[in-house]
Chains A and B, each alone.
Chain A
């Protein structure tokens, strides 16, 4: 075998430990995508109304709010990208090309992005209210 050749692993190693349940692996990878999609859906529902309210409050908006307002229309790209990457990864074990490092990297990026989106949206939502109250009081 040449040094650069792909090593084919037995199915027990490429799936979830000794259980070998690919469905569980799909659930682990797709759950953060669902969380991302939920955050994006909430943002699309709430922020058009909040944007009008924030304009009415006057003053300059906090950075996290203004950046979120500028970006939230493009946020559906995040779950879409992670869905594609996750599906690609889930299709690979059948061809014996998966590595634990790659799986971990995708999962950390996906779950971390879901959390980052959630925190960004929360801060964007509450920031202007807190700012106006500090300004007044």
Chain B
């Protein structure tokens, strides 16, 4: 195993752990967000609504990106660009989940905390 392969494996594992953490956070905190939105009344932002509608499907993301990463690692010697695509997709997916989670949470939570104060 050379340095490049070690680096790719480490990076892909870090991306997978990051995605799994975000999914655990989503499942842990979504009931709180739902209760806050119900308590606030009015209409939730599209980001929050889309988050609550879709977070149950988030576990598909690390499964898909892990399968892609494994395939890319296997074909690395023949198709060096496939590994770059796998890395970009893995970290890109993590970043999208991260931003989505934060946008979905912070505005309603700030509103709720502001209302409580």
Interface residues of A in 103-137 (CB under 8 A from B): 103-104, 107-108, 111-112, 114-115, 118-119, 122, 126, 129-130, 132-134, 136-137
Give the contacts of B3-56 with A (CB-CB under 8 A).
3-7, 10-11, 14, 17-18, 21, 25, 29, 32, 35-36, 39
- The minimal Cβ–Cβ distance linking B108 to chain A, given in whole angstroms, is 10
Q: With A16-B3, A28-B3, A126-B29 as given contacts, are A132 and B113 in contact (CB-CB < 8 Å)?
A: yes
Q: Is the CB of A133 within 8 A of B36?
A: yes
Closest residue of chain B to A104 (Cβ to Cβ) is B6
A134 to B3, CA, bound (A): 47
The reply on A100 being an interface residue by CB < 8 A is yes
Which chain A residues lie closer than 8 Å to B5 at the CB level? 17
Residues of B within 8 A of A133 (CB): 32, 35-36, 109, 112-113
Q: Does A10 lie at the interface of the complex (its beta carbon under 8 Å from any beta carbon of B)? A: no
Q: With the chains together, A118 CA to B97 CA distance in Å?
A: 14
| Interface residues contributed by chain B, number (CB under 8 Å) | 28
Q: Are B11 and A111 in contact (CB under 8 A)?
A: yes
Task: Check B112–A17 contact: CB distance below 8 A.
Answer: no
Whether, in the assembled complex, A15 has its beta carbon less than 8 Å from a beta carbon of chain B, the answer is yes
For residue A25, CB closer than 8 A to chain B, the reply is yes
Q: Which 6 A-B pairs have the closest CB atoms?
A: A17-B2, A28-B7, A129-B109, A16-B4, A111-B14, A17-B4
